[in-house]
A and B are shown apart, each in its own frame.
Chain A
Amino acid sequence: GAVVSQHPSWVICKSGTSVKIECRSLDFQATTMFWYRQFPKQSLMLMATSNEGSKATYEQGVEKDKFLINHASLTLSTLTVTSAHPEDSSFYICSAPGQGSSYNSPLHFGNGTRLTVT
């Protein structure tokens, strides 16, 4: 079945540094990918929609200059947390719809990235 690979699975960084998270669709093409953030004991909150060949669409309240998204190809989207601060520590999850229309295809999720900013 469709697989989404997310890397790294966990990362620890110092305040002020930047961290890049990769999301790859392994056996299908994804013109759209979704980036979610999950706080402890909270739901997954959509941060942004990554669009291949165009700018990402950010949800209200998400700083686009802080969370840089680049959809470099039909199988790769990256999320870069710039100038990270401890409050950015969270669990970040990417997802992509499978083959076919994004409105009908189920979403396939990466295993998530646990970011800890010290």
Chain B
Amino acid sequence: GNSVTQMEGPVTLSEEAFLTINCTYTATGYPSLFWYVQYPGEGLQLLLKATKADDKGSNKGFEATYRKETTSFHLEKGSVQVSDSAVYFCALRGAGQGNLIFGKGTKLSVKP
């Protein structure tokens, strides 16, 4: 079945450091891929998405490229801020499916 694997945290970075959170997936067909973010005390928010191979999703300085050849959707940001501290979830929606399948989440802490 479909599944998502993302790097385990926690990840601790200094402000302005480069961020990469790895995400790989297993799916049949052509899924849509998402990154969600959960700030402390809040619900999940869509950060970015990509619906087909080679698409790049971007938002708030974060980027992720849908790589079908490596079945990956790694999240990157060139310069993190303290306000980026949150838990990040990689997710997949299978073709013709309504629900999402989530990775385990990666907690990011950014220190000033």
B73 within 8 A of A: no
Partner of B89, one of A43, A49, A110: A43
**Chain B stretch 48-97: residues in CB contact (< 8 A) with chain A:** 49, 89, 93, 96-97
Report whether B104 and A42 are in contact in the complex, using a CB–CB cutoff of 8 Å: yes
Among B43, B96, B101, B105, the residue within 8 A (CB) of A93 is B43
Q: Given A42-B104, A43-B104, A106-B34, is A32 in contact with B42 using a C-beta cutoff of 8 Å?
A: no
With A44-B89, A46-B99, A102-B98 known to touch, is A107 a contact of B104 (CB < 8 Å)? Answer: no
Contact A43 B102 (CB under 8 A): yes
Q: Please, which residues of chain B bring their CB within 8 A of the CB of A93?
A: 43-44
Q: How far is the CB of B89 from chain A (nearest CB, A)?
A: 7
> How many A-B contacts are there with CB distance less than 8 Å?
51
Mask of A86-118 contacts with B, CB within 8 angstroms, 1/0: 000000010101000011001111111000000
- Report yes or no: B44 in contact with A109, Cβ–Cβ below 8 A: yes
Within 8 A of B (CB), among A42-96: 42-44, 46, 49, 93, 95
Q: Which residue on A lies nearest to B94, using beta carbons?
A: A103
Mask: chain A, 26-44; 1 = CB below 8 Å from B; 0 = not: 0000001010100001111
Partner of B98 from the list A34, A110, A111 (CB cut-off 8 Å) is: A34
Q: Indicate whether B45 reaches chain A with its CB closer than 8 angstroms.
A: yes
List B contacts of A103 (CB < 8 A).
93, 96-98
Residue A25 interfacial (CB < 8 Å): no
Which residues of B line the A interface, CB within 8 A? Answer: 4, 34, 36, 41-46, 49, 89, 93, 96-105
19 cross-chain CB contacts under 8 A: A4-B43, A34-B98, A36-B102, A41-B105, A42-B104, A43-B89, A43-B102, A44-B89, A44-B100, A46-B99, A49-B99, A93-B43, A103-B96, A103-B98, A106-B46, A107-B46, A107-B100, A111-B41, A112-B43
